[in-house]
Amino acid sequence: MKTEKKEDRRIRKTKQALQKGLAELLTEKQIQKITIKELTERVDVHRGTFYVHYEDIYDLYHSIETRVISEIEDLLSKDYPFGYKGLTLFYELLFSYLLEHKEICRSLFEGHVNYTFIQTLKKLFLNACLDDWHEEYGIDKQSEEIKNYASFYLAGSFFIISEWVENNFNYPVEKLILMLSEIDISFGKMFK
């Protein structure tokens, strides 16, 4: 990726337009079939402007992955109160973020380009989960048994979220938050 310059509002808007345009195109076709010309015409950005910010379509896609991972990592790093209230707050913030970035999240969660995004996200959530369980229940984070429980729990949670994204965000968010919070609490009861 090219060296980042200090971003002013115009640069941010241009990058956002390119990212959103790529996400929209990814719902229509595979990344290898998307041309820079097609993307820049769709978002009304000069082709040369694209190259000021990105080397190619894959560089743009990678920057989207990196940004979303960073923003979700920020959500995970907040200090939520443990228990149902904290879980609910976390899920409210997570689902608000996903809804705010629908097109981009759809292209990332559906994994049409590659699965590095999901794998990176799973690692992030696994570490956060193990840290939380260690802090709340005094569980050994290095235990293979605990890592297996956490992996099982996260696989189910990611499947629920992925299905929601793939089904065009149709399932009510309130029900998803309730469902995932209750699953979290149930797992916690095993360790008490």
pLDDT score for 114: 67
pTM for this model (two decimals): 0.82
CA–centroid distance for 140 within its chain: 27
Q: Tell whether the torsion through CA atoms of 149, 116, 171 and 80 is positive or negative.
A: positive
DSSP string covering 92-156, please?
HHHHHHHHHTHHHHHHHHTTSS-SHHHHHHHHHHHHHHHHHHHHHH---TT-HHHHHHHHHHHHH
pLDDT score for 106: 85
Average pLDDT for runs of 10 along the chain of length 192:
64 93 90 95 96 96 92 88 76 92 84 75 87 83 89 88 90 93 82 70
> How many of the other CB atoms lie within 10 Å of CB of 87?
21
